[in-house]
Amino acid sequence: MFKAEHDSILNSRSTLGDFKVQELPLPPDFVWGTATAAYQIEGGAFQDGKGKSIWDNFSHSVPSRTNGEHADVACDHYNHMPQDVDLMSSYGVDVYRFSIAWTRLIPLGGREDPVNETGIAFYNDLIDRLVSVNIKPVVTLYHWDLPQSLHERYGGFLNSEEFQADFVRFSRLCFSRFGDRVKKWITFNEPYIISVFGYHSGVLAPGRSTLSGGDSKTEPWRVGHSIILAHAAATHAYALDFQPSQKGSISIVLNGHYYEPYDTHSEADRAAAQRRMDFYFGWFGDPIFLGKDYPPAMRAQLADRLPQFTAEELSFIRRSAPTNSFYGMNHYTTKYARALPEPPADDDWTGNVEELPTNSEGTEIGPVSGMSWLRVAPKGFQSLLKWVWDRYHLPIVVTENGCPCPGESTMSLEQVVNDEFRVKYFGLYLDAISRAVYDDGVTVEGYYAWSLMDNYEWSAGYGPRFGLTHVDYTTLVRTPKNSAFYLKQSFQRRRKDGLDKESLE
Closest by CA position to 214, among listed 228, 229, 195: 195
Helix (H, G, I), strand (E, B) or coil at 231: helix
**Cα–Cα distance, 283 to 275 (Å, whole number):** 11
Per CATH, the homologous superfamily of domain 6-493 is Glycosidases (3.20.20.80)
Q: What are phi and psi of 459, to 5 degrees?
A: -70, -15
pLDDT of res. 497: 46
Kindly state the helix (H) or strand (E) to which residue 260 belongs, with its residue range. strand 258-261
Residue 364 bridge partners (DSSP) = 358
**Whether the Cβ atoms of residue 44 and residue 50 lie closer than 8 Å to each other:** yes
Rounded to the nearest 10 degrees, what angle do helices 191-199 and 283-290 cross at?
Answer: 140
Chain segment 285-336, per-residue pLDDT in tens: 999 999 999 999 999 999 999 999 999 999 999 999 878 899 999 999 999 9
What percent of the chain has a predicted confidence (pLDDT) above 70?
95
Mean of the pLDDT values across residues 163-191?
98
- Catalytic residue list: 190, 400
pLDDT of res. 156: 98
pLDDT of res. 13: 35
Report the b/e string of 162-183 with b at 16+ CB within 10 A.
bbbbbbbbbbbbbbebbbebbb
pLDDT of res. 498: 34
Residue 140 bridge partners (DSSP) = 99, 186
Place 186 in a pLDDT band, splitting at 50, 70 and 90: very high
pTM of the model: 0.96
**Cα–Cα distance, 283 to 374 (Å, whole number):** 23
**Whether the Cβ atoms of residue 489 and residue 6 lie closer than 8 Å to each other:** yes
The separation between CA 161 and the C-alpha centre of its own chain, rounded to angstroms, equals: 25
pLDDT of res. 426: 98
Mean of the pLDDT values across residues 438-456?
98
**Cα–Cα distance, 32 to 96 (Å, whole number):** 9
**Whether the Cβ atoms of residue 147 and residue 214 lie closer than 8 Å to each other:** no
- Residue 254's contacts (CB-CB under 8 Å, 6 or more residues apart) are 190, 191, 192, 280, 281, 284, 285, 327, 328, 329, 330
pLDDT of res. 499: 52
The separation between CA 383 and the C-alpha centre of its own chain, rounded to angstroms, equals: 19
**Whether the Cβ atoms of residue 140 and residue 41 lie closer than 8 Å to each other:** no
3 state SS for 369-390: CCCCCCECCHHHHHHHHHHHHH
Residue 3 has pLDDT above 80, yes or no: no
Residue 5 has pLDDT above 80, yes or no: no
pLDDT of res. 6: 38
Q: How far apart are the first and last CA of the chain?
A: 34
Mean of the pLDDT values across residues 465-483?
98
Residue 45 has pLDDT above 80, yes or no: yes
Closest by CA position to 298, among listed 316, 290, 286: 286
Residue 121 has pLDDT above 70, yes or no: yes
Mean of the pLDDT values across residues 166-171?
98
Residue 388 has pLDDT above 50, yes or no: yes
Listing DSSP states for 157-214 in one string gives GGSHHHHHHHHHHHHHHHHHHHTTT--EEEEEE-HHHHHHHHHTS--STT---GGGTS
**Cα–Cα distance, 250 to 185 (Å, whole number):** 4
Give the count of beta carbons closer than 10 Å to the beta carbon of residue 322. 17
**Cα–Cα distance, 497 to 490 (Å, whole number):** 15
Closest by CA position to 226, among listed 281, 197, 188: 188
Mean pLDDT, the chain, rounded, equals 95
Listing DSSP states for 66-117 in one string gives GTT---SSTT-HHHHHHHHHHHHHHHT-SEEEEE--HHHHSTT-STTSPP-H
**Cα–Cα distance, 171 to 187 (Å, whole number):** 8
**Whether the Cβ atoms of residue 449 and residue 468 lie closer than 8 Å to each other:** yes
| Range with lowest mean pLDDT among 318-327, 344-353, 418-427, 434-443 | 318-327
Mean of the pLDDT values across residues 427-444?
98
- Residue 276's contacts (CB-CB under 8 Å, 6 or more residues apart) are 259, 337, 350, 351, 353, 355
Residue 200 has pLDDT above 50, yes or no: yes
Residue 91 has pLDDT above 60, yes or no: yes
Can you say whether the dihedral through the CA atoms of 496, 501, 502, 505 is positive or negative?
positive
> Within the chain, how many helices (H) and strands (E) appear?
19, 13
Query: Residue 270: what residue type?
Result: R
Place 219 in a pLDDT band, splitting at 50, 70 and 90: very high
Residue 11 has pLDDT above 60, yes or no: no
**Whether the Cβ atoms of residue 56 and residue 107 lie closer than 8 Å to each other:** no
Rounded to the nearest 10 degrees, what angle do helices 378-392 and 420-438 cross at?
Answer: 40
Please state, in angstroms and as integers, the Cα–Cα distance from residue 101 to each residue in 82, 123, 266, following that order: 18, 10, 47
Mean of the pLDDT values across residues 380-409?
98
**Cα–Cα distance, 86 to 93 (Å, whole number):** 11
Residue 504 has pLDDT above 50, yes or no: no
Residue 4 has pLDDT above 80, yes or no: no
Residue 267 has pLDDT above 80, yes or no: yes
Place 243 in a pLDDT band, splitting at 50, 70 and 90: very high
